[in-house]
Amino acid sequence: MKSLKNGKNILKADKAEVTNISEHGFWILLAKKEYFLPFEKYPWFKEAKISAITHVEVHHNHHLYWPDLDVDLTTEILENPQNYPLTYHD
């Protein structure tokens, strides 16, 4: 008797989806978890085009990359921002 082929791993985070954008920031869904990125803390996105914000790639299931903006973030940074103080200077 032959076993059936394994199904798709639904926990794998191979796609990210920007679910909403407001004047304060945006929400991104990754592996059934939603993160809010406020423009105040992530200023690289504030003046970006919607198409640049929604064009996000996922690498290694936890690394988010916006190629049009050259911005890299990991889920560790989003989940524990207090451990990664971001500094931004004009």
Rounded Cα distance, 17 and 30, in Å: 7
**DSSP conformation class of 45:** G
- Total domain count for the chain? 1
Alpha helices (H) in 31-74, listed in sequence order? 50-54
Q: What is the CA radius of gyration of the chain?
A: 16
- Mean pLDDT on 7-36: 84
Q: For residue 10, is pLDDT > 50?
A: no
Q: How confident is the model at residue 14 (pLDDT cuts 50, 70, 90)?
A: confident
Is residue 79, in this structure, part of any structural domain at all?
Answer: yes
Residue 32: CATH number of its domain: 3.30.2020
- Mean pLDDT on 9-31: 85
Alpha helices (H) in the chain, listed in sequence order? 50-54, 75-79
Is residue 70, in this structure, part of any structural domain at all?
Answer: yes
Longest distance between any two alpha carbons in the chain, whole Å: 65
Is residue 37, in this structure, part of any structural domain at all?
Answer: yes
Q: Which is more confident, 15 or 1?
A: 15
Q: How confident is the model at residue 9 (pLDDT cuts 50, 70, 90)?
A: very low
Is residue 26, in this structure, part of any structural domain at all?
Answer: yes
Is residue 41, in this structure, part of any structural domain at all?
Answer: yes
Q: For residue 87, is pLDDT > 70?
A: no
Long-range contacts of 83-86 (CB under 8 A, 24+ apart): 86/41, 86/42
